[in-house]
Amino acid sequence: MAIKLSVTDQSPIHDGGRPSRGPHDSLRLAQACERFGYHRYWLAEHHNTPGYAGPCPEILIGHIAAHTRRIRVGSGGIMLPHYPPYKVAETFRMLEVLYPGRIDLGVGRAPGGDGQATAALAYPRQPINSDLYPRQVFDLMGYLNNDLPPQHPFHGIRLVPEDGGVPQFWMLGSSGGSAEVAGQLGSGFVLALFIGTHARSPAIVEAYRRAFQPSKSLQEPRVMIAVAAVCAPTRDEAMRIAGTRSMWIYQALSRGRIIDLPSPDEVDRLLSAMGPGERAQYQAVLDHSIIGTPDECRQQIEAQAAEYGTDEVSVVTVTYHYADRERSYELLAGAFGLAD
C-alpha cells in the first residue's frame, strides 16, 4: 500500500529566535516539502503558547498557497469553538476560490491555548460550551455545501462567492466520541496520535467507519493519522533532536510549566537535574514519538498506517534548529520515495 505523507506545521519558534520568524519558517518549510513530494501542508492553531507562533492558520494558508504550486494547503486545524461557523465558511470559500482544488479545512474542538486566551477570544461574550461543537460542525458543513435543512434558522443564507468550490473537509480528534461525530456528519477523520502520552486504539477508527453517513462532502470514509516523528542520519542524533519537543511536553504535562522550546543542550541540563521518576515520565513522552533513521521511521510509520487501516499519514516534527526539521522531512520523504 503506497502511503501519502503530509505535514502538520505547529509553527515552532526555531533557534531561540524572534517569534516573528515563525511564519517565514513555515513558508520556507512548505516550499521545501512541496519539493520533497509531500501531499498536504497543514497549519495548526495555538494561542498564547510560548515556543509556537501560529495563532491564525487561515492567514498562513493563503500566504503559503500563493507561494507554492501543487501541494494542498489547509488547517490542522481551526479550533471551531472560538469562531462563528458562518465566518469560517466564508473564509475558506474565499481561499478555495483563490486556490481551487488545493484547500483543506480541518477543524477541532481543543482550545489551542490556555484559559486566559480562550476568554480573550470570546470577549465580550462568554466562551462557547464545547458540547456545542458537533452542532457547529453541522452548521459549517451546511454553509459550505448549501444544504442546511429548511427548518434551520439560517437556511438559504448565501456563502459568497456563491459559485466557488468547497474545500476538502476534515475533523480532527483523539477519541471515539470525536470519531463517531465525524462519521455521523460525513466528514473525513484525522486521528491525532501525537497528542499526550497514551496509545489510542484502532477501535477509534472503526467507530468512525461504523458511524459514517455519506454527505455532500464525502461519499465514503476517509481516515488519516497524525504522528510525531523526528528522522536523522543516526538514531542517536534523532533522539537528541527529539528531546526538544519531548521536554516541552513533559514540562507542560508533569510540571505545569509552559516554556520556550529548549535547545538540545538545555534538554541535557534539565535531564541531569531529574530523579529516576521524572526521567521515566520524560521517557514516556519521548517513546510516544517515532524517532530514528530513515528506514526505522519508515517501518514504524508503515506499521501504524497498517494498524489503523489508512494510506495517509501527517507528520508533526518539532525541533530546536530549523535545519534539523527540514532535514527530517527530507530524509523521511527519501525513505518513502515521495519525489520519485
Where residue 128 falls among pLDDT bands split at 50, 70, 90? confident
Residue type, 281: Q
Domain-located, residue 254: no
C-alpha cell at 10: 505547529
Query: Distance (Å, rounded) from C-alpha 264 to C-alpha 12?
Result: 15
Is a pLDDT exceeding 70 seen at residue 340? no
pLDDT band at 89 (very low <50, low <70, confident <90, very high): very high
Between 338 and 196, the more confident residue is 338
Does 286 map to a domain?
no
- What is the structure's pLDDT at 123? 92
For residue 93, give Cα distances in angstroms to 86, 269, 286: 10, 48, 39
* Among the listed residues 324, 317, 301, the one whose alpha carbon sits nearest the alpha carbon of residue 233: 324
Element (H, E) at 125: none
- Is 249 contained in some domain? no
Which spans in 273-312 are helix H? Answer: 276-287, 294-308
Least confident piece of the model among 4-8, 15-19, 211-215: 15-19
The answer to the question of residue 140 being in a domain is yes
Cell triple for 226: 497524525
For residue 218, being part of any structural domain is answered with: yes
Assigned domain for 281 exists = no
CATH code at position 72: 3.20.20.30
Q: Tell me if 278 is assigned to some domain.
A: no
Domain count, the chain: 1
Q: Which amino acid is at 331?
A: L
User: Residue 196 falls within a domain, yes or no?
Assistant: yes
What is the domain range of residue 96? 4-231+293-336
- Residue 206 makes CB contacts below 8 A (sequence gap 6+) with none
pTM, 2 dp: 0.96
DSSP code of residue 320: S
User: Can you tell me the distance from the alpha carbon of 106 to that of 44, in angstroms, rounded to the nearest whole number?
Assistant: 9
